[in-house]
Amino acid sequence: MMSEMKQITLKRGKDESLRRFHPWVFSGAIASKDDAIEEGDLVTVAAADGTFIGVGHYQIGSIAVRILSFEKRDIYLDFYRQRLTAALSVRQALRLSRDDNNAFRLVHGEGDFLPGLVVDIYGDTAVLQAHSPGMHFQRDLIAQALTQVEGLDIANVYYKSETTLPYKAALDPVNQYLIGSYSTNIAMENGLRFHVDWLKGQKTGFFVDQRENRRLLEHYSAGRRVLNMFCYTGGFSFYAMRGGATLVHSVDSSAKAIQLTNDNVELNFPGDTRHEAFAQDAFKFLDAMRQDSYDLIILDPPAFAKHKSALQNALRGYRTINAKAFSKIAPGGILFTFSCSQAVNKDQFRLAVFTAAAMARRRVRILHQLTQPADHPINIYHPEGEYLKGLVLYVE
C-alpha cells in the first residue's frame, strides 16, 4: 500500500527517457501538477495517459523531479534502509572497509538510486549531504536509517548541506550533528592517515574520489620532484612521499587548505623535510616557477564549469593551466591532470589537454585514462553521473 501523494502529469511523449529509467523530470516536460505541491514534496509522476511512472522529490528549477523509485511505494524509513543496505553491499564487494582503509563514499546520488543524496563514511562517522530540498526534509529519517543498516557501524551522523542546496529554496540548512557528536576526525585511506574537517572543510571534508588515482601516483613518485597543484588537504602529497619522491611541493590558494595539508603530512611523516606547502594562486605559481623544477606534476583544479553555460570558459581554463604545466615540466616528466566538471565530457577535456600540449610544443603520450572509483558508481541510465576524468601523460 502506498499513502496518497500529490501528482505531476507529463506532456505527451515526455515520459520516454523515464521509461528508460533516466531519473530526472525536467520542468519543461510537465503538463500539469496538483496545486498544493511545494518544493521538496514527494510526488508521483504520471504519463500523459495517466499511467504511473515513478515517485520522486519535487523541486523548483530545471530538474523538477528526481525519481527515487519506478515502483509504487512509500518513501520512508524502510525505503532508505533498503537503498542504503544495497549501497553498502556494493562497497563490501569493493572491500573498502578494512584495517587500513575506513574512508569511502556510501551513497553517490543517482549512482546509488538516491538522487540528491551523498553520504561519505569516515570511520564511525557518516557525513550526509543533501543536494535537493526533498533530501533535506528527509534528513532525520535518512540519519536514522543509516544507524539501522546491518554491517555499518555508525555512531555519528553529521549533516553538511549549507553549500549544496539550491540557494533560492531558502531552506537555511544548518551544518550539524543529527546523531552523536564529535569524536575522532582522523580517518585512513590505503594505510595513510588524514584529518577530516567535516565541520568546516570543503565537500564532506575530504575528496574520497581520488583514492585510486593517488595510489597510481604513488607508484610513479620514486625519485621524482613532485608538484601537487590544487592540493586541498594534501591527498596526493602524502602518497607521493610514501612513494619515495625526493621533494613534494603542495600549492593551494586557500590558507586553510595549506594548513590541513601540512597537518596531514606531519601526521604521516613527522619532521620530514621533503615537503613544503605554498598558499598561492596556481596560475601565478606556474608562471613564476623555474623551467624543469619538477618531474611529476598533479593538476586537480576545482570544477571550472559548474553549469553548461560556463563550458567555454572552463575549457579555456583547462587549456591554460595544462599548457603552463606542459611548458615547464622537466623532460621525461609525468603529468597527472584532472577535470571534475560534470559539464565537461571526456572528449572535450581530452581535446583541451591535447591543445595545451600542442601549444607547449611537447611530445606527449597518454599512459593512463582515469576516472572516478567504484564507490562513485554510475547509474547506467544516467550517464551524466560520470564526472571525474583524468589523464596520466608522459612528457618528453
Catalytic residue among 340, 357, 374, 392: 340
Q: How far is the CA of 142 from the CAs of 81, 104, 119, 396, in angstroms?
A: 8, 18, 10, 51
Of how many residues is the chain composed?
396
- Binding of residue 120 to ligand SAH (CB under 6 A): no
- Options 16, 34, 276, 281; binder of ligand SAH; rule CB under 6 A: 281
Contacts of 178 (CB under 8 A, 6+ apart): 128, 139, 140, 143, 157, 158, 159
Rg (the chain; Cα; Å): 22
- Binding of residue 109 to ligand SAH (CB under 6 A): no
- Options 79, 159, 198, 236; binder of ligand SAH; rule CB under 6 A: 236
Grid cell, residue 165, equals 542546496
- Binding of residue 7 to ligand SAH (CB under 6 A): no
- Binding of residue 235 to ligand SAH (CB under 6 A): yes
What mask of x and - would describe binding to ligand SAH in positions 203 to 222, judged by CB under 6 A? ----x--x------------
3-class SS of residue 227 = strand
Q: Is 231 known to be catalytic?
A: no
Stretch that binds ligand SAH, among 34-42, 52-60, 233-241, 309-317 (CB under 6 A): 233-241
Residue 28 φ then ψ, to 5°: -70, -10
Residue of 144, 167, 156 whose CA lies nearest to 77: 144
- Binding of residue 336 to ligand SAH (CB under 6 A): no
- Binding of residue 254 to ligand SAH (CB under 6 A): yes
CB atoms within 10 A of CB 180: 16
Alpha carbons 150 and 146: distance in angstroms, whole number: 9
Instruction: Report in angstroms how near the CB of residue 202 gets to ligand SAH at its nearest.
Output: 6
- Binding of residue 282 to ligand SAH (CB under 6 A): yes
Stretch that binds ligand SAH, among 9-17, 72-80, 250-258, 345-353 (CB under 6 A): 250-258
Residue 229 φ then ψ, to 5°: -85, 145
Instruction: Report in angstroms how near the CB of residue 281 gets to ligand SAH at its nearest.
Output: 4
Between 30 and 279, CB nearer to ligand SAH: 279
Between 253 and 327, CB nearer to ligand SAH: 253
Between 104 and 236, CB nearer to ligand SAH: 236
Q: How far is the CA of 357 from the CAs of 138, 192, 320, in angstroms?
A: 48, 33, 10
Alpha carbons 339 and 359: distance in angstroms, whole number: 19
Beta strands in the chain (DSSP E): 6-10, 24-26, 30-33, 42-46, 52-58, 63-69, 103-108, 117-122, 125-130, 156-159, 176-179, 186-189, 192-195, 225-229, 247-252, 275-279, 296-299, 333-339, 364-371, 389-395
Alpha carbons 370 and 387: distance in angstroms, whole number: 11
Stretch that binds ligand SAH, among 59-67, 230-238, 287-295, 345-353 (CB under 6 A): 230-238
**Longest C-alpha distance within the chain, in Å?**
70
- Binding of residue 253 to ligand SAH (CB under 6 A): yes
Alpha carbons 357 and 391: distance in angstroms, whole number: 12
Report how many residues bind ligand SAH under the rule CB under 6 A.
18
255-274 positions binding ligand SAH, by CB under 6 A? 257
Alpha carbons 145 and 106: distance in angstroms, whole number: 13
Instruction: Report in angstroms how near the CB of residue 236 gets to ligand SAH at its nearest.
Output: 5
Between 134 and 317, CB nearer to ligand SAH: 317
- Binding of residue 119 to ligand SAH (CB under 6 A): no
Instruction: Report in angstroms how near the CB of residue 338 gets to ligand SAH at its nearest.
Output: 8
* Lookup result for grid cell 611548458: 327
Between 23 and 235, CB nearer to ligand SAH: 235
Contact 381, 20 (CB under 8 A): yes
Between 56 and 235, CB nearer to ligand SAH: 235
- Binding of residue 302 to ligand SAH (CB under 6 A): yes
Q: Rule CB under 6 A: which residues touch ligand SAH? A: 207, 210, 230-233, 235-236, 252-254, 257, 281-283, 300-302
Q: Which residues are catalytic?
A: 340
